[in-house]
Amino acid sequence: MCRSGTDKVLPAFPIAQLICCIGLSPRTDSMALFIEQLVNGLTVGAVYSLVALGYTMVYGVMRMINFAHGDFFMIGSYLGFTLISSALIGGAIPLWLALVVLVVLAMIGVGLLGIIVERAAYRPLRKSSRLTAVVSAIGVSIFLQNAVMLIWGPRYRAYPPWAVPNIIWQVGDIYINLMQILILAVSFVLMIALYFFVQHTTVGAAIRATAIDHDAARLMGIDVDQIIRLIFLIGPALGAAAGVLLGLYYRQIHFTVGWTYGLKAFTAAIMGGIGNIPGAMVGGLLLGILEMLGAGYVSSAWKDVFVFIILILLLIFRPTGLLGERIAEKV
């Protein structure tokens, strides 16, 4: 039986360690570590934001937590894995173009899957209670996970290392790699596009109207079913983009990661105020930064625990989110 001595007691005990780090640790002097963790946090945070958008949009329009959303994200990264391992990136087209095609194809595939899932598992339950929809969503999640396990196998899959060249820049004492820049760029482009689409187009106005009141929207001539279908195209598609980006970043993918990332992204969505699109973006970035700072300064073994504690505290004390009612317009 493994039994550790007194020296091991401290690392296993987060609060004691937290106190040590704040008070004594020499690492706190180092600005470079702080900024590096900040950049790491922004990178994962951008991924969380993309996934959180799917939760928040579905919740905004349907008042339902789509428990299967994390699995759309996971399927996105598997689709990306298959596409990247196929002949797509063989040198026929430039690498950057291939990556764009890769992300777009994964988004289309998962977006279509989202529409199918909505039609098959959620639409028949639209008039029933929250619980039935939640259980149905869990059923979908279990189904998708196991379908992926049967198709791609139960073991970890790894993105090929040559997919994105490992270029590292040094800025002062800080190292930033190409993949981090790529993740930030792609997710910000997608988020800005989404924000513009929702706020400044007619269809976007229809989405916002549906979020406020289905019946009133219907009276205004909006096809609510169509809007819900659209939401289930956009949400999973954004999740898929996040999945591909994360696959390229961490390389390893597994069919169970959907739940973990789904829960974290959901935390981000709650943080920003669920139903609130800019909120989900900010919430994701904030959560990523908090998580990475926690991992850097306290202990990486406990970083998921921080996230869940944040989630629980938020739900207890501030269920409307950190951003509060100021930008409370629900989408």
Partner 1 sequence: MAEKGTQTESELKTRLSLPSPRSHISRLGLPAVIVLAVVFPLFAGDYWIDVAVFWGIYVLLGLSLNIIVGEVGLFNMGHAAFFAIGSYTTAILSEQLGLSLWLLLPLSGLAAGVAGYVLARPILHLRGDYLLIVTIGLNEIVRITLLNNPWGLTGGPNGIIMLDQFRIFGYAIQRPIDFYYLVWALVAITVFVLVRLQRSRIGRCWNYVREDEIAAQAMGIDTRWAKLVAFTLGAGIAGATGTVFAAKLVVISPESFNFMESVILFCIVILGGMGSIPGVILGSAGMMVLPELLRNFAQYRMLFFGLALVLMMIFRPQGLWPSKRWTTILREGEGK
Task: Name the residues that contact partner 1, by CB under 8 A.
Answer: 1-4, 8-9, 12-13, 63, 65, 120-121, 124-136, 138-147, 150, 213-215, 259, 263, 266, 270, 301-302, 304-305, 308-309, 311-312, 315-316, 319
Q: Helices in the chain by DSSP H: which ranges?
A: 6-9, 14-23, 31-62, 69-85, 95-117, 130-152, 178-200, 202-212, 214-219, 224-250, 257-271, 277-297, 303-317
For the bound state, the minimum distance from the C-beta of residue 128 to partner 1, rounded and expressed in Å, comes to 7
Quote the CA–CA distance of 175 and 192 in Å, as a whole number. Answer: 27
| Collapsed DSSP state (helix, strand, coil) of residue 94 | coil
Of 105 and 125, which has the nearer Cβ to partner 1? 125
When the beta carbons of 171 and 315 are compared against partner 1, the nearer one is 315
d(CA 317, CA 108): 38
Q: Whose Cβ is closer to partner 1: residue 129's or residue 202's?
A: 129
Say which amino acid occupies 196.
F
CA distance 49 to 147: 26
Beta carbon nearer to partner 1, 81 or 266: 266
Report, in Å, the least distance between residue 302 CB and partner 1.
7
Identity of the residue, 15 or 92, whose beta carbon is nearer to partner 1 in the bound complex: 15
Shortest distance, position 53 Cβ to partner 1, whole Å = 18
What is the Cα–Cα distance from 327 to 191, expressed in whole angstroms? 17
Shortest Cβ distance from residue 165 to partner 1 (Å)?
35
Supply the minimum distance, in Å, between the C-beta of residue 229 and partner 1. Answer: 17
